[in-house]
Chains A and B, each alone.
Chain A
């Protein structure tokens, strides 16, 4: 119905916290499960997510995170086995939930029998590192910019901006719709945001929520 999701992130360390922050900026409801008290209080300072302090493999803790209402759970701690256990427990408690596991080694695809998606942060990081080392002045889209998000957004049926031309829509400052309707041209003022089509959009994190509201409803 609504496009904002209820998401549980297990593990509030580097990967978990960054993920939670991006999701919260886009207007999703995030709950973080974190064992370490020190990290818990750091996350609380940022005030982006509800935090449950405890071991994410404990079913009681997963339940406190609101598993029965959640749309997705991402197990993003540094331990592959623990992550897998969290996701298996989660899909036991809520069969419809989308599960994402962070893995340590590239042996990843085998896990997709049990979870919906796997994430190997080191590979993503390595790609960026390789780009940086080569140091070319022109790089492709992924992972480029500091805080900017460059996203592919599908316009939802019934969203406020659906079917409108760009000139008619007041996107917040810090937004740029890059691609045209068919993906072959740069967007023009008369570009129409056709429901069902995907557009390349660059946004600053502060306004991502508003942009999602306009394009996804």
Chain B
């Protein structure tokens, strides 16, 4: 029984910790990776995109708050849906959420790579890729494999870490989040003070020709940025007084996150311009920072390096969070008998959900080959779809279990979940339509994943039906009161 002393005692997380876990997931990588991509689609209206996504996601946040307060299970959205829906629906929910997290992992890994290169560049270790601050790598053949390799290694490293040790307690996450937010506050402060900000141009608000409709696909792409409350509800068991603190943490983290996003995106667009931001892609914020942060500082040399470091740090911590989140979904599904039982077992030597982590790793490593934008699109699509199910779950639970104790009841029921379903459906529809036009590969892969899920579900049911037959027959012989 060696090595058992490495396990931390059960953490008692307060409201601050719970809020920080949610913010850590939402402010993590999304803001660094997705801002440039949003600007590419929506121009300066990217600011609107993030604001509206915050509004859309708030409705689902209400549903999560009600479910988390009344269903004491630490499995996040899947656990809630499992409580109410039949096998097939809850399987689909888990299957989609699992995928959403795995692809999010790929997205963060892909965001990590260019930001890491940018960091190396700031210190002069690698030659400047293109202009100062931009990682628009000119030589496709040479540059892409390097970024791909970095993303691959990042995933591999964090998976290995999580596979052999149960780490990542909530209090570490709190420190990480405070670091990330502080770095962003520095970014916003310098941005507001820079001369580029005072001469900022937000016109034309929408990119040429496409008009206001351009913000819809951008909303779809960046929706993933606000998925953090699912993570809050995966640690509820460790939170003090969860029936008050979980709803509070969900709303607080959402509000603060939206404010931070708006401030950062506004500064980034004001300083670098929507076009510059779009060119920098996944390293958009880092590139904006390099353009206006002071240079010639001791040790960190370049003020921009601080932000670039923030981007590297954020993408890595977010990647770590989704490695854990995705394996937890698979682990819960295994325990509920919805995946092979081995998914729901702890490794005898490492004490971690080993099989669940490895399976998640395979998909993540494969997805690193995707373009960043496809990864963002697919992950957002699957979060949108699973959030629809969560909203439906709230309605169904109210109808089927009216007497269930609900320590937190959302205001204006049934409006919020209905609006949530409608808005998520619209965004999912727009996203699918956008994918048909621009990224059919992502759509095909998404459909393939659902199809694979269907096959897995029925194969597993068949597998389960066979070994059960034997013991059931034996039981009937032994039980005297069995009549049939």
Contact = CB atoms under 8 A, between A and B. Distances in A.
B129 interface: no
Contacts of A118: none
Given A1-B337, A52-B404, 6 more contacts: A1-B468, A2-B336, A2-B341, A40-B405, A45-B241, A210-B351
A160 B347 contact: yes
Contact of B1 (A43, A53, A171): A171
B349 A169 contact: yes
A54 B4 CA distance: 44
Top 3 A-B residue pairs of the complex, sorted by shortest distance between their CB atoms: A51-B405, A1-B337, A160-B348
Contacts of B121: none
Interface residues of B, number: 39
B403 A54 contact: yes
19 contacts: A1-B468, A24-B72, A41-B405, A44-B70, A47-B243, A50-B71, A51-B404, A52-B405, A53-B403, A64-B401, A168-B348, A168-B349, A170-B2, A173-B7, A175-B4, A189-B1, A210-B346, A210-B351, A214-B345
Interface of B: 1-5, 7, 9-10, 70-73, 83, 236-237, 241-243, 335-337, 341, 344-351, 400-405, 407, 464, 468
A172 interface: yes
B404 A169 contact: no
Nearest to B337: A1
Contacts of B2: 167, 170
Nearest to B82: A29
Q: Which of A4, A24, A51, A166 has the most CB of B within 10 A?
A: A51
Contact of B4 (A52, A164, A173): A173
A158 interface: yes
A160 B346 CA distance: 7
Contact of A64 (B70, B241, B400, B468): B400
Chain B interface, DSSP helix/strand/loop, else mixed:
loop
Given A50-B70, A210-B346, A170 B403 contact: no
B241 to A, nearest CB: 7
A50 B341 CA distance: 25
Question: Interface size bucket, A side?
Answer: 35 or more
B348 A169 contact: yes
A64 B402 contact: yes
A164 B345 CA distance: 15
A200 to B, nearest CB: 15
A52 B4 CA distance: 38
A217 interface: yes
Contacts of B401: 52, 64
A161 B2 CA distance: 14
A206 to B, nearest CB: 5
A64 B468 CA distance: 28
A164 B351 CA distance: 14
A4 B405 contact: no
Interface in A1-36: 1-2, 4, 24, 27, 29
